[in-house]
Structure 1
Amino acid sequence: MRVSDLGEFGLIEYLRERFSLQEVGDDTACVELGSEKILLTCDSLLEGRHFLLSYPMSSVGWKGVSATVSDIVANGGRPLYLLITLLLPDVEIKKIEELYEGMTKACEFYGARIVGGNIVKSQNFGIDLFGLGVAKRFVGRGSAKVGDGVFVSGTLGDSRAGLELLLMEKRQYEDFELRLIERHLRPTARIDYVGHISKYANASMDISDGLASDIRHMAKRSGLSFQISKEKLPISRELYEFAKRHGKDPYVYALKGGEDYQLLFTHSPEKVNPFLDMSQIGWVREGEGVFLDGEPLEELGFDHFRS
């Protein structure tokens, strides 16, 4: 048996069961030190898999920090510190400076600090990030309750469209296309939701591998059925325009597109905050599985070993 036979998430489940790693399963690990709830997480961006050397390195740095912070935020925490491992071929120092400009600006935005790390020679350029945060209440992906509404923040599918536009390598992009590209290169972790998630959410995670993939993980960990509606999926004007121009279905992007770093969470429908850009896309019910307009949701989304 090879890793590709299991896939990324199958491998996680295999290791959990094989080595009794029952605390593994959320994007952050919550450990208690005295009265403090400490959230620990790690993430990686690798050249050729997550970015190209032609990308602005400051955007790669921003995105790496945002991806790490997003995991902490999704579980109800505030980011504090990061450790950075650099995986380096013999690149120009300027690229590393630009990378750190992006990372330090992102840290300033999120209220976190880089406090150390490591450097290793590598054939491919990459960064490995370890993040530490604190939470008043840990909110994992496996605690949804029957009767909860299913909510997402922001809009979905923009990052995937932005990536496709980048790969077109057009000589000139229109304004709406540049906005989609920006959402791929420089996503913003939803730190404005920390208070809401910490206070009201029963289950929460970020959308990094695509809604169709991530909601399946939440439903499985919660042991419940998630019923969502296609017409409720929040889609930006820019994605609608992109889909119209290129003959695409924007809902496929909303379901399958990864790296939006929006939040997927559940709580009582009465807890809606009108000052946040949250949309209710469905309900949590008794049973198992995820259903889109009453039909089983097709397995979509990103898997490192099957995508």
Structure 2
Amino acid sequence: MSIGGVGEGGLIEVIRSIAGLSEDNDLEYVELNGKLLTMKIDGIAITTSKMPFMNYYDMGWKVMAAIASDFLVKLSKPLFVVTSLTLRREMPMEDFRDLVRGLSEGAHYFGMKYLGGDLNEGNDYIIDAAALGIAMSGKITRSPRVGDVVVTNPNFGYTGLVFKLFYQGSLDNYMNNELVRRGIEILRRPKPNLNLLGELSRLSQCISASMDSSDGLGKVLWTLSRNGHVRIVVDELPTTQELIEGVEQMGLDIDELVFNGGEEFTPVFSIRSECLGDFERLGFKAFARVLEGDGVFYRNSLLRYRGWDYFTGWH
């Protein structure tokens, strides 16, 4: 059997088994001299990640945004980041400069100091970034409590719209559509709001679980359900009425775009219900409940969308 037959989730389980790791999380926690440090490594391959409307600056920024998003959902402040770049020798110098500018300026935007790193030659363009930070609260897992509500920023579906149109070969026909333009801007310049760290850290006792949405909201919900051994019931789509109406006019399925989008780099928190008002003041909205049982349900049926999995794709 090849790794393609196992999928990303199965391969992570193999890594955890061999390395003796107890759990999978957005960040790794390390206790050192009384401090709770947080670490993250993330990477992309240009050939599978760069869309036609993106340049190399965008790719550098995207890597830093992905790092920042994972720190945000665990209420951790990223401090330092290094990269390992694998490049083909025929890469134009201007593209190289754009990539490094994207990495450097993206790191600065999210409050990290970019320390450079490693450079290699290969047959593809690979960007890996590793960051070190400090937790502003205790450790946060992926295991929700029964009785929680699930909250997020209600702007899902815009990136899903771009992906859907791109993969069905019709994106060029909608490049002047305002909804599509918004989705493209999110993909080119994702900006997880690390300015919320202070306020969120003061609400840390409200949070039982959290995840970043980069692999799709469906994957987040199924992961939370599995890890917490709970039933998650989605009451409404965390999106805008504008998008719902626009997608309907295009003849697309809004459920698919919301649950199977990805790369929104948006935090999803499972919180105590009595804390909802505090999170609403920060721009979050409740869209699901955590109950006893198992599985993820929407409109009285099991949620069919399960997000992105490397080596197998959307499912």
TM, length-normalised to structure 2? 0.89
SS in 2 for 1:260: coil
Matched residue type, 2:43: S
Return 153-162 or 10-19, whichever deviates more. Answer: 10-19
Task: Check conservation: 2:57, 2:102, Cα contact below 8 A.
Answer: yes
Distance 1:82 1:242 in 2: 39
Q: Which residue of 1 aligns with 2:208?
A: 202
Which residue among 277, 293, 300 is the counterpart of 1:287? 293
Return 119-128 or 160-169, whichever deviates more. Answer: 160-169
Question: What is the deviation of 1:26?
Answer: 0.2
Task: Check conservation: 1:149, 1:269, Cα contact below 8 A.
Answer: yes
Q: How many residues align?
A: 304
Distance 1:286 1:172 in 2: 44
Matches within 5 A, 1:1-307: 1-22=1-22, 24-52=23-51, 55-89=54-88, 90-164=90-164, 168-170=171-173, 173-198=176-201, 199=204, 200-229=206-235, 232-236=236-240, 239-240=243-244, 242-272=246-276, 273=278, 274-307=280-313
Task: Check conservation: 1:46, 1:124, Cα contact below 8 A.
Answer: yes
Matched residue type, 2:267: L
Task: Check conservation: 2:77, 2:136, Cα contact below 8 A.
Answer: no
Question: What is the deviation of 1:143?
Answer: 3.3
Distance 1:214 1:83, change over 3 A: same
SS in 2 for 1:221: helix
SS in 2 for 1:212: helix
Distance 1:247 1:227 in 2: 26
1:189-238 deviation digits (Å, cap 9, x = unpaired): 23233235432311111101111111111121122221212xx2222355
Distance 1:208 1:253, change over 3 A: same
Distance 1:171 1:242 in 2: 12
SS in 2 for 1:202: strand
Return 214-223 or 174-183, whichever deviates more. Answer: 174-183
Distance 2:3 2:217 in 1: 23
Task: Check conservation: 2:164, 2:257, Cα contact below 8 A.
Answer: no
Task: Check conservation: 2:158, 2:180, Cα contact below 8 A.
Answer: no
SS in 2 for 1:12: helix
Task: Check conservation: 1:139, 1:197, Cα contact below 8 A.
Answer: no
Task: Check conservation: 2:63, 2:127, Cα contact below 8 A.
Answer: yes
Task: Check conservation: 1:81, 1:112, Cα contact below 8 A.
Answer: yes
Distance 1:165 1:56, change over 3 A: farther
Matched residue type, 2:287: I
Distance 2:245 2:96 in 1: 36
Return 238-247 or 260-269, whichever deviates more. Answer: 238-247
SS in 1 for 2:159: helix
Matched residue type, 1:106: G
Matched residue type, 2:4: S
Distance 1:295 1:141, change over 3 A: farther
TM, length-normalised to structure 1? 0.91
CA RMSD for the aligned pairs?
Answer: 2.1
Distance 1:241 1:165, change over 3 A: farther
